[in-house]
Amino acid sequence: MTSLPVLPLSPDPPGRRPALPPRHLADLDLAGRQALVAELGEPAFRARQLSTHYFGRLVRDPARMTDLPAATRERLAGSLMPRLLTPVRELACDDGATRKALWRLHDGSLVESVLMGYPDRVTVCISSQAGCGMACPFCATGQAGLTRNLSTAEIVDQAVYLAGVAASGAVSGSPPRLSHVVFMGMGEPLANYSRVVDAVRRLCAPAPEGLGLSQRHVTVSTVGLVPAMRRLAGEGLSVTLALSLHAPDDELRDELVPVNQRWKVAEVLDAAWDYASRTGRRVSVEYAMIRDVNDQPWRADLLGRLLAGRLAHVNLIPLNPTPGSRWDASPKPVEREFVRRLREAGVSTTVRDTRGREIDGACGQLAASETGSADGR
């Protein structure tokens, strides 16, 4: 692991800090940006110019927007592109193929995002909330509770920023263009529903309205907020839904994913199948393998029966270590047997790689602390 230089911080604004971040062009669709630019007394086409810089060229420095008159540039960028994310620290591992960024938001809240390069694609894992209110006991993010929802632009800007890092060639051995976004960072995306759906639309709108990603390359992960899952199925989006199941039975799931006390396994799977049938998209079922907790052969068989014949894929995640957790990952032979039983039941199953573990950047390790254990190692 290499520790990259800490970037300079801008001083906190004086006086009381507002709760909501300043408005940014990524909060608005193109028509909204044009209306705003007109309100500022500029011709509407300037909105398209600014948007082309931000989404199309990944440029955020007004000095580089030379197609705009110098005075206009500063004024418009000041109004439509305020700085939302201040980089605090960037850590890299896997020979630079995995990078975790820690950001400070305008009110001092901290969030993290992870950039992952593969030979054929570049993925960013982004946060939808500062903290998380879902309290899953094996996840580091859940331990500190929820600070606040992120705005649409705070969500989008994580991807745009890291798309710029990828475009600069920082991830060797990978294509320079960001292709995939997963909402698997901090927070419960469906608990910040409208901003997350807006962010998805912006990430997928063609430039200059948005970043131009394919909807099929965007994954929204949820603990299983049933009404929001059903609502998402009706948005007309072709994004992948990931469901963090982690147990096939209510008794255990009530403990591992406390929201199960409200929406049971059967209800959550019903909503998942509704999503699959309305969108034609295979649902990704996430299952962290926890030694002697959820990894027994009978649970594999029960999971197999629940998923057989459904439009589903199981992603087993070896449990990543988190501070103070009393649980470990399942031994490899146990994991292999779990996979074998699921496949025997006809359920497509893979084991996720543990990218970013040594920089606390893997699933469930994002805690956004400035004094995290990854510091100064």
Instruction: Work out whether 138 is an interface residue with ligand SAH (CB under 6 A).
Output: yes
Is 219 near ligand SAH (CB under 6 A)?
A: no
Stretch that binds ligand SAH, among 56-64, 82-90, 114-122, 314-322 (CB under 6 A): 314-322
- Active-site residue (options: 93, 125, 204, 363): 363
Residue 132 in marked binding region: yes
Determine the Cα–Cα distance for residues 284 and 280; give it in Å rounded to an integer: 13
Among 42, 94, 154, 188, binds ligand SAH (CB under 6 A): 188
From the list 51, 158, 222, 240, which residue makes contact with ligand SAH (rule: CB under 6 A)?
Answer: 222
208: cis peptide before it, omega within 30°?
yes
Q: Residue 288 interacts with ligand SAH (CB under 6 A)?
A: yes
32 phi and psi angles, rounded to 5 deg: -65, -40
| Residue of the chain from 174, 320, 330, 349 that contacts ligand SAH (CB under 6 A) | 320
Query: Is 363 annotated as catalytic?
Result: yes
Closer by beta carbon to ligand SAH, 11 or else 324: 324
244 counts as binding ligand SAH under rule CB under 6 A: yes
Residue 336 and residue 350 in contact, taking contact as beta carbons nearer than 8 Å: no
Site mask for ligand SAH (CB under 6 A), range 149-168, x = bound: --------------------
User: At its nearest, how many Å lie between ligand SAH and the CB of residue 262?
Assistant: 15
Count interface residues toward ligand SAH (CB under 6 A): 18
Q: Which residue in this structure is represented by tokens 């939808």?
A: 128
C-beta of 76 vs 241, nearer to ligand SAH: 241
Give the shortest CB-79-to-ligand SAH separation in angstroms. Answer: 33
Is 187 assigned a ligand-binding role in the annotation? yes
Q: Check 42, 90, 112, 286 and give the catalytic one.
A: 112
Closest to 96 (Cα-Cα) out of 147, 165, 21, 27: 165
Give the binding range for ligand SAH (CB under 6 A) out of 15-23, 216-224, 264-272, 296-304: 216-224
Rounded to a whole number of angstroms, the minimum distance from the CB of residue 268 to ligand SAH is 11
* Distance from C-alpha of 136 to C-alpha of 142, rounded to nearest angstrom: 6
246 labelled binding-site residue? yes
Residue 125 designated active-site: no
- In three-state form (DSSP H/G/I as H, E/B as E, the rest C), the secondary structure along the chain is CEECCCCCCCCCCCCCCCCCCCCCHHHCCHHHHHHHHHHCCCCCHHHHHHHHHHHHCCCCCHHHCCCCCHHHHHHHHHHHCCCCCEEEEEEEEHHHCEEEEEEECCCCCEEEEEEEECCCCEEEECCCEEECCCCCCCCHHHHCCEEEECCHHHHHHHHHHHHHHHHCCCCCCCCCCCCEEEECCCCCHHHHHHHHHHHHHHHHCCCCCCCCCCHHHEEEEECCCHHHHHHHHCCCCCCEEEEECCCCCHHHHHHHCHHHHCCCHHHHHHHHHHHHHHHCCCEEEEEEEECCCCCCHHHHHHHHHHHCCCCEEEEEEECCCCCCCCCCECCHHHHHHHHHHHHHCCCEEEECCCCCHHHCCCCCCCCCCCCCCCCCC
Least separation in angstroms between residue 345's CB and ligand SAH is 21
Whole-angstrom Cα distance, residue 284 to residue 140?
22
Site for ligand SAH in 51-110 (CB under 6 A): none
Stretch touching ligand SAH by CB under 6 A, among 2-10, 107-115, 218-226, 339-347? 218-226
Residues 367, 362: Cα–Cα separation, whole Å = 11
196 binds ligand SAH (CB under 6 A): no
Q: Should residue 317 be labelled a site residue for ligand SAH when binding is judged by CB under 6 A?
A: yes
CB of 363 to ligand SAH, least distance (A): 3
244 is in an annotated binding site: yes
Residue nearest to ligand SAH (CB): 364
Position 221 contacts ligand SAH (CB under 6 A): yes
Q: Which amino acid is at 367?
A: A
Does 102 count as an annotated binding residue? no
Instruction: Tell me: does residue 225 bind ligand SAH (CB under 6 A).
Output: no
CB closer to ligand SAH out of 91 and 134:
134
The catalytic site residues sit at 112, 363
Q: Interface with ligand SAH by CB under 6 A: which residues?
A: 134, 136, 138-139, 184, 188, 221-223, 244, 286, 288, 317, 319-320, 322, 363-364
